[in-house]
A and B are shown apart, each in its own frame.
Chain A
Amino acid sequence: MEAYERLAAARAKGRPSGLCYIRNIFTDFVEMHGDRRFGDDGAIVAGIARLGDLPVTVVANEKGDSTKERIRRNFGSAHPEGYRKALRQMKLAEKFGRPVVCFVDTAGAFCGISAEERGEGEAIAENLMEMSALRTPILSVFVGEGGSGGALALAVADEVWMLENACYSVISPEGCASILWKDSSKVREASRCLKMTAEDLLRLRVVERVFPESGGFDQVYATLKTELYRALRQKIALDTNVLLQRRYDRFRRMGARPER
């Protein structure tokens, strides 16, 4: 399948978004709202749940499954308060020694006046810096679209996984085509050039694992449940300083130059 077809699949109406994964993988989910600064952002869902016998903090992009819901959740594009809500829950996870699981499905952070005046850039930057040193394991799974900084703000993790049709890109192919070729119809070409598919990113070592979708989403939930549990158990067993050093090295090697 070509990059453009995968992108279409990642954006397809009816594709499960964050909440589906929470409902189907975890039990006892308790949602926690708000960033205690400005408001509650529907584009990001956060809370505490149980994975098997393990209490975990869950953070997920949610695009909404009906027109009304999609508007309420701003189509999964978060404002600064969404990222600050996510960070607040992650800090609680650190305090109580719970691992963090993130599900990413966003076209990107919201681009608008409200987001800018409340510090979209600052909110994302803060998440990147804090997550890089969060003293508890973090796993991120890309389940749909992974748009730029808004996706990365939930993905400074010990491991990053992707579903086979999920995407992860520095810029939307539409944006890339219109900037580079002044022609937004060259989306197909742009999506190929950007190397945004799970297959590409596995090869570039930006992600650790890719999960097939051919068996249907029930199969995906079941696999993720088993694999997340196994991976988290392994991470929890590590000394925290070792965990953090590995997280640092994970990003440190990306684009590193040999001559030092």
Chain B
Amino acid sequence: MLTKNLFRKPANPLEWYDSIRGKKNTRPDIPEQMCVSCPKCKTILLTGDLSESAHVCPKCGYHFRINARQRIGLIADRDTFRERDAQMSSSNPIDFPNYEKKLWHARLQSGENEAVVCGTASVGGFPCCLFVMDSHFMMGSMGTVVGEKVTRIFEYALQKSLPVIGFTVSGGARMQEGTLSLMQMAKTSAAVRRHSDAGNLYVAVLTDPTTGGVTASFAMEADIILAEPGALIGFAGPRVIEQTMRKKLPPGFQRAEFLLEKGFLDDVVPRRGQREYLARLLSLHQRRA
């Protein structure tokens, strides 16, 4: 059960928990997750085919959201990923109501301890540090643990003179940790700056959606900023802007292609070429011996 359905978002977050507790699943056993419909071109796709195509629709190129482990599997060379700070998990630093319960649900739902997975790996044979955010954990929001883990991976990379590759996906700073979440923007930015000052490379890949406090900190501070096709990238979310402006936003607004046109991205890179693309960047930044 654990391995088979780890990457599926359960309809009932407690389903997994119930199953290991031996509670009987009362729903009829229909393999509803066998097929998905592409939200863009509406083609019905077999999930098996989809996972073979890196969760990109083979018809229209729509990039489905994937979790951190799937991402690492696509980017890191086989069996090279070594996770760091895997056990770190949030407490409730400002006693926000119901936050513990939310965290507990998020852990069950995502199978992760927090919204970012960090570690070392090699990509195309080049060693690097990797951080990968996960939208399945409270929409990738940044609280003190996400801030701490990202800061630590930059500090570690600085110490080892390693490049950092980061995949972002986030709804922004996590409001349940109040101003302490906000402070993580400053903390991570300072760590990025130190890593950068020592001449190390940082490449960020912005995935759907990257917004709020993550956009306004380490996502936009990389030497090279890339994005996946169609990714929503912005500071304010589209709904907030529509409310403020009291009008509909133009189509394509805040999408990766829009940001590329406005000059805020270095490139838009489809998922299926990313490993080679990143390996080439790492190779071009090898320091002379």
Contacts and interface: CB of A to CB of B under 8 A. Distances in A.
A associates with B:
yes
A32 interface: no
Contacts of B193: 129-130, 132-133
Contact of B173 (A121, A128, A148): A148
Interface in A226-260: 247-248, 251-252, 254-257, 259
Interface stretch (B3-11, B56-64, B212-220): B212-220
B145 interface: yes
Interface in B170-220: 173-175, 177-187, 189-190, 192-194, 196-197, 212-213, 215-220
A259 B152 CA distance: 12
A248 B216 contact: no
B173 A170 contact: yes
Interface in A95-153: 109, 111-113, 115-122, 124-126, 128-130, 132-133, 148-149, 152-153
A9 interface: no
A126 B235 CA distance: 13
Contacts of A152: 182-183, 185-186
Contact of B241 (A113, A170, A254): A113
B94 interface: yes
Interface string B243-271: 01100011001100010001010000000
Contacts of B96: 193
27 contacts: A111-B240, A112-B244, A115-B236, A119-B220, A120-B216, A121-B233, A124-B216, A125-B221, A132-B193, A148-B182, A149-B213, A149-B217, A152-B183, A156-B190, A169-B179, A170-B177, A170-B182, A193-B94, A194-B178, A195-B94, A201-B179, A204-B178, A204-B180, A251-B187, A255-B145, A255-B180, A257-B148
Given A252-B187, A255-B180, 18 more contacts: A115-B235, A117-B258, A119-B262, A125-B217, A125-B219, A125-B220, A128-B189, A129-B189, A149-B173, A149-B182, A149-B185, A149-B217, A194-B175, A251-B183, A254-B144, A254-B187, A255-B183, A259-B88
Interface of B: 88, 93-94, 96-97, 143-145, 147-148, 151, 173-175, 177-187, 189-190, 192-194, 196-197, 212-213, 215-221, 233-236, 240-241, 244-245, 249-250, 253-254, 258, 262, 264
